[in-house]
Amino acid sequence: MADPLTASRDLTTIRTAITHFTRTLTAAGVPDAAGDVRRLLAETLGLSPAALLASPERMLTEDEHERASGNMLRRASREPVSRILGERDFYGRAFAISPAVLDPRPDTETLIATALDIVAREGWQREPLRLLDVGTGSGCLIVTLLCELPNAVGIGTDISTAALEVAHANAVRHGVGGRTQFLQADALEIETGPFHLMLTNPPYIATSEIANLDPEVRVHDPRLALDGGADGLDVYRRLTPRIAAALPDGWFICEVGYDQAGAVADLLTTALRPPQIEIHRDLAGQNRCVAVRTRS
Ligand code: GLN
């Protein structure tokens, strides 16, 4: 069997390309090789996944084959499909991503569901709301919430100016650029409160665990967005003493690692003595989100 990446181009149909590329990615240890090949090939050919599968005998042009091979080589080196394509869907919207930002995960949609549920429970759907997203990255949290809550304005902060540029572009793309401000800041080093909701998906991986992550994360997500210090909780510890001032009467909603909800809830309880604290699970059933009512 000829190597798929060097196989004679003029004989390649979609069917043979799928078979060959799937073998290559499987050999490289890519978890869902067949699914990734279909997505990358469909995107390269400008077809929907359904149209791709409906025309197995269509020949690839030389140029298409070359571009598809380039994308498959990147995936074989364990670059995620989202990074190869330059965007990722989050809560039903496409977000541009770059090497400067964390690739948005479906788990993080738990924070959106929690925030929207809280807004409904508090009866805040029509109030002028102020939202803060600390460590905004691609902007997926703040931009999604502003799209879902037309009554809100928001601030996204990040240490990385390169990330802020991506977030700003995503806000403009989704029509909420006029309601969003992006500021370079570390943790809560801004004095622009008070806010109703503060969200954060901080870096929370323990430093020693980073080496054990999948290459898609370890190599391609920015370390700044992953490394939470010796036990992963450094950023929560730095944020906690500052929450009450920025959020005298609102909700703090954060993402946590699968085994961190108890420790983070303890930190927040000790610092804030909150009247309410909740832990929410993601779709995989892991404790993923801690939400705390603050009140002065
Ligand atoms: N959820 C990411 C992961 O485990 C980590 C993101 C983060 O540290 N906030 O891959």
Q: Is residue 281 part of a domain?
A: yes
Instruction: Give me the chain's average pLDDT, please.
Output: 94
CATH number of the CATH domain containing 247: 3.40.50.150
Instruction: Pick the atom of ligand 1 nearest to 213's CA.
Output: 10
Select from 201, 207, 253, 264 the residue to mutate for testing ligand 1; criterion: most ligand atoms less than 8 Å from CB.
201
Distance 275 CA to ligand 1 centre (A): 28
Q: Where are the alpha helices (DSSP H) in the chain?
A: 14-27, 33-45, 49-54, 62-76, 81-85, 109-122, 140-148, 161-173, 215-218, 234-246, 261-272
Tell me if 217 CB under 6 Å of ligand 1.
Answer: yes
Shared-domain flag, residues 121 and 72: no
Question: How much is the pLDDT for 189?
Answer: 74
Distance 198 CA to ligand 1 centre (A): 18
State pLDDT tens for residues 146-178.
Answer: 999 999 999 999 999 999 999 999 999 999 999
Shared-domain flag, residues 267 and 141: yes
Tell me if 14 CB under 6 Å of ligand 1.
Answer: no
Shared-domain flag, residues 164 and 251: yes
Question: How much is the pLDDT for 295?
Answer: 84
Q: Does the structure show a pLDDT above 90 at 9?
A: no
Mean pLDDT for the stretch of residues 232-250: 93
State pLDDT tens for residues 60-88.
Answer: 999 999 999 999 999 999 999 999 999 99
Please state the pTM of the whole predicted model.
0.93
Q: Is residue 93 part of a domain?
A: no
Shared-domain flag, residues 161 and 285: yes
Q: Is residue 84 part of a domain?
A: no
Residue ranges making up the domain that contains 42: 14-77
State pLDDT tens for residues 223-236.
Answer: 999 999 999 999 99
Residue 147 CA to residue 154 CA, distance in Å, equals: 11
Number of independent structural domains in the chain: 2
Residue 218 CA to residue 57 CA, distance in Å, equals: 38
Other beta carbons less than 10 A from residue 153's beta carbon:
16
Q: Percent of the chain having pLDDT more than 70?
A: 95
Question: How much is the pLDDT for 296?
Answer: 61
State pLDDT tens for residues 19-53.
Answer: 999 999 999 999 999 999 999 999 999 999 899 99
Residue nearest to atom 7 of ligand 1 (CA): 203
Distance 16 CA to ligand 1 centre (A): 36
Q: Does the structure show a pLDDT above 90 at 283?
A: yes
Shared-domain flag, residues 109 and 67: no
Q: For residue 200, report the phi and psi dihedrals to the nearest 5 degrees.
A: -155, 140
Tell me if 204 CB under 6 Å of ligand 1.
Answer: yes
Q: Does the structure show a pLDDT above 70 at 248?
A: yes
Q: Among 1-15, 187-201, 224-238, 273-287, where is mean pLDDT lowest?
A: 1-15
Question: How much is the pLDDT for 193?
Answer: 78
Q: Among 8-12, 103-107, 137-141, where is mean pLDDT lowest?
A: 8-12
